[in-house]
Structure 1
Amino acid sequence: MAGFRVGDLDALRMVPHPAVTLLLEFGTGSPVLDYAAGRQQRGSVVAGPGIGSGGAVWARGENVECVQVRLSPVIARAVLGASPADLDGAVVALDDLWGREASRIRERLGDVSSWQDRFALTDALLARRHEAGPPVDPEVAWAWHRIVGGRGLVRVDRLAAELGWSRKRLWSRFRSQLGLPPKRAVKLVRFDHAVHRLVTGEGAARVAADAGYADQSHLHRDVMAFTGVTPATVAAEPFLAVDDIAWPSHETPAHRR
């Protein structure tokens, strides 16, 4: 999780990520998500894996204060109390999922004065909901962890064979419990790994070869499909540039002003 306080958030492109995103706002302002199709979403939201594909979602707002959590799809169903399959690439208002509890959380986050207290409050909330919610099938969790651990360099038919499942059964269970089909999960995890290497300044040709793309053109097409911009442009995206600070590799909560 990470904490954000932004006085003027102006047209921040949402770059897809292989997680369910939970945004808990509590400040005087309110974040706004704008869609290319003209729809808007305000306030605390839950976004499915891959939100922002095609560069179709932008964030903005004034005096925005929020705690943002990236939930592994493996635990998202238990925490949210709803199937992530309903969130595939979509955004849902937290009020629609949690009712009055969403308002109580907002008030409690606003009542505490430090980021560490907000992180502790959020962590306790997620732990309580996770403990009470239904787990995913262990086979599905295993398949997800194999995809993430392999940075997307795995074959879906190989996963099914190792589980002793048919491809159809793996697709059905994976999609219904994690919110996206296994093949798209593979592509999204591979993209996420590749695009963060581009942000560090590595060349596209080297990234394409190491990340399992057929060639640099294949990487270019994938980046365009997920973000709507070229690899050269996406490497400078503010949404990605903040990751080293907001989401440190040692997994200690951080805050970003």
Structure 2
Amino acid sequence: MPTAGQARDAAQIWDIAVPARPGRLPGVSMAGFRARTADPVDLGVIPYPAVTVVVDLGDRSLSVDDPGGRHHGSIVAGLAAGGLRGHGRAVECLQIRLSPAVAHAVLGASSELGSTVVSLDDLWGRDADRVQERLRAATSWPDRFALAEAALGRRHQDGAAVDPEIAFVWRRMVTCLGGVRVEPLAAEVGWSRKRLWSRFRSQTGLTPKRAARLIRFDHAAHLLAAGHGAARVAAEIGYADQSHLHRDVHAFTGGTPTAVSAAPWLAVDDVAWAAPAYLFRTPVRHAGQ
């Protein structure tokens, strides 16, 4: 098991680029990853409350394992996809995180947004090949970000949007860090509990209860990675007790709070997603260099 220090060192595996400014499509964030050496990469992935699209910019150098097998090339990982490990040599990829309110239209998917991993080709067909070819041909990260944003914008415009009630409920869950009950949310949007449960699941791939648990787990995972003890995290976030936190961590990762606190993927998060969009920090290289 890696120590916290080793988890921080894992961020040094990558050169990471982020867009210079927020994109025009809300609910979308992007980061570019390039392995700094040709050494093999083997990285466990912590579930995150967004649908993740990983576009392989190498020659199918990236593979992702999930409980169902191994996937090669560009993939889409659903909201609660767990037990994932990324592998490869000289990996170069674009990672896109999509709010479920955006992902439904952009990906043209529903159940795939839950806990599964699917090929991008399976969702986008020939359009996936066209987009990947353009991204691989681009000579700088700013160009790649612009191309990806344009492709996402086209698909979002042509796709079927989630119900505004579902988008509202998701925002409330995020604002409350998952600490909300389904019945009051249903009342707020004027739906029955049964209707909210059914529509939410059909458009995000998760039930409202599991989505709220995932959002709360994500907050807990980042506090654990920041060095806070499990007992303190459980008390601060509103878990019934430390055992409740342990159960949620195990449900989403198969591991323990100690293992999550040292997860290399969260160290990468610190650089790729938590920093202001305009900031490039070591080991981040300014896009285009």
TM-score tier after normalising by the smaller chain length: over 0.9
By how many angstroms is 1:127 displaced?
A: 1.2
Q: How does 1:104-183 map to 2 (within 5 A)?
A: 104-183=130-209
Distance 1:16 1:8 in 2: 25
**1:29 Cα offset (Å):** 4.6
The unaligned stretches of length 5 or more in structure 1 are: none
Residues 242-257 of structure 1: pairs in structure 2 closer than 5 A? 242-252=268-278
Which SS does the other structure have where 1:122 is aligned? helix
Q: CA shift at 1:57, angstroms?
A: 2.1
For the 8 Å contact 1:119–1:253, the answer to whether it is kept is no
TM-score normalized by structure 1? 0.92
* Residue in 2 that maps onto 1:71: 98
RMSD: 1.7
CA distance in 2, matches of 1:253, 1:134: 34
Q: 2:52 aligns with which of 17, 21, 45?
A: 21
Shift of 1:44: 0.5
Change (3 A) 1:246 1:230: same
Are 1:211 and 2:253 matched, yes or no? Answer: no
Where does residue 14 of structure 2 map in the other structure?
none
Is 1:4 the counterpart of 2:30? The answer is no
TM-score (norm 2): 0.83
The worse-fitting range, judged by mean Cα deviation, of 176-185 and 104-113 is 104-113
Tell whether the 8 Å contact from 2:48 to 2:214 is kept in structure 1 after alignment: yes
Count of residue correspondences: 252
Report the CA distance between 1:249 and its aligned residue: 4.5
- Runs ≥4 in structure 1, deviation > 4 angstroms? 251-257
Runs of 5+ consecutive residues of structure 2 not aligned to the other structure: 1-29
Q: Relative to 1, partners in 2 of residues 1:256 and 1:30: Cα closer, same or farther, differing over 3 Å?
A: farther
CA distance in 1, matches of 2:118, 2:39: 23
Matched, 1:47 2:73: no
Larger displacement relative to structure 2 (201-210 or 146-155): 201-210
- Cα shift readout 1:65-116 (whole Å, capped 9, x = no counterpart): 1100010000111101222x23321011111111121111121111111111
